[in-house]
Amino acid sequence: MTSNINDDIGESNRLKLWEMMLKLRLTEKKAYDLFLQNLIKGTSHLALGQEAIGASFGVLLEKGDYTFCTYRGHNHTLARGSSIEGVLGELMGRQCGLMSGKGGSMHLTDIDKGVMGSYAIIGAHIPIANGTALAAQYNKTKAVTVCFFGDGTTNIGAFHEALNMAQIWKLPIVFVCENNLYMEYTAIADVTAVEHPAADRASAYGMEKIIVDGNDADAMFRVAQKAINMARDGDGPSLIEAKTYRHSGHSRADPGKYRPDEEVKEWVENRDPIKTYRQRLKDFNVDENTINLIEEDMIKQVEAATEIAKASPIPTIDAIYTDVWADGGSEWHN
């Protein structure tokens, strides 16, 4: 599914998408720069090139809705309104971080914004996401849960179990497969019996087959809007397969050499969601000065947040005793 000049989602939504995608792209680029400066330790999983998916849901979801994501979750956390300094601070292990520097890149959580956690175990969060959807249904809050996962998750048992449960109970949840074609170092097509790892399984659970160009923000917006409205109206779950591509390797430690050079070049040069959306805005006669001003403002926001995160202190040793269920002693076992 792609957009053309006749598909108008409205200039207001289009500018929100542009601003949101810039926020996600510029923050992750800054995270990469901070890693090179040795200010971010360890590894992390960037979603550079996948911004249109998180941005679309970020623009559409409402206060009180829930988001679950994977270890590649910076974008989805930021898209729900979590602060840039909170995300960068967490990656840097600083007190200003979303979890005061204790969780790190793969466990970003911001309950106040409806971000119910990033999960490092493949597929572990999908049944949990059904839990918030069930709670919303039971309490009649109209809240919608959105659960993001990668293509590799579609071969995990929890994926199939959760989809079946969601459909049986008609839960208000949207499952979003971000198919970036590779499950870590292995092409998903090499280990999956169907061409579309998520969408081709939808019919087994009585769901519509939905495939969308995840790098086309307008197309992504329309598909997300329909699925969210369906869930909020009590019409049950949806499964979306969004085709996308990560610009870099699986993680910081991965040079990504298993991907053909021609394939990488095509996606990065011709299907970059930021580059193509800048042209989309021009096609809809959005003033170029407006486009540039939004970008300049977001650059300033990211730079200011970076300085706040840099200035924030490292947590004290006492922090290890906070946010735990027990004191670690033997008495709590008895």
pTM for this entry: 0.94
For 229, other C-beta atoms within 10 Å of its C-beta total 13
**Residue 47 falls within a domain, yes or no?**
yes
Q: What is the enclosing helix (H) or strand (E) of 176? A: strand 173-179
DSSP state of 260: -
Contact 45/106 with Cβ under 8 angstroms? Answer: yes
Q: Look at residue 253 and tell me if it is in a domain.
A: yes
Burial of 120 (0-12, 13-18, 19+ CB in 10 A): middle
Nearest-5° Cα angle at 183, 181 to 184: 120
Question: Whole-angstrom Cα distance, residue 48 to residue 24?
Answer: 8
DSSP string, 33-76: HHHHTT-S-S-----TT-HHHHHHHHHH--TT-EEEEESS-HHH
Dihedral Cα 246, 189, 211, 280, nearest 10 deg: 30
Neighbours of 328 (CB within 10 A): 9
> Is residue 156 a part of any domain in this protein?
yes
Q: What local confidence, expressed as pLDDT, does residue 4 receive?
A: 45
**Residue 284 maps to a domain:** yes
Distance CA 54, CA 76 (A): 5
User: Is residue 278, in this structure, part of any structural domain at all?
Assistant: yes
Output DSSP code: residue 256.
-
Cα 313 to Cα 90: distance, rounded to the nearest angstrom: 11
Q: How far apart are CA 35 and CA 46, in angstroms?
A: 12
> What is the CATH classification number for the domain harbouring 298?
3.40.50.970
Burial class, 265, CB count within 10 angstroms (exposed 0-12 / middle 13-18 / buried 19+): exposed
How many domains, in total, are found in the chain?
1
Domain annotation covers residue 211: yes
Rounded to whole angstroms, the Cα distance separating 85 from 100 reads 11
Range of the domain at 212: 28-306
Q: Does a structural domain hold residue 331?
A: no
Answer yes or no: is 330 within a domain.
no
pLDDT 10s digit of each residue in the chain, 334 long? 444 444 679 999 999 999 999 999 999 999 999 999 999 988 889 999 999 999 999 999 999 999 999 999 999 999 999 999 999 999 999 999 999 999 999 999 999 999 999 999 999 999 999 999 999 999 999 999 999 999 999 999 999 999 999 999 999 999 999 999 999 999 999 999 999 999 999 999 999 999 999 999 999 999 999 999 999 999 999 999 999 999 998 887 888 899 999 999 999 999 999 999 999 999 999 999 999 999 999 999 999 999 999 999 999 998 888 877 766 566 655 5
Q: Residue 124 corresponds to which tokens in the numbers above?
A: 């572990």
pLDDT of 331 reads 64
The SS3 assignment for 122 reads coil
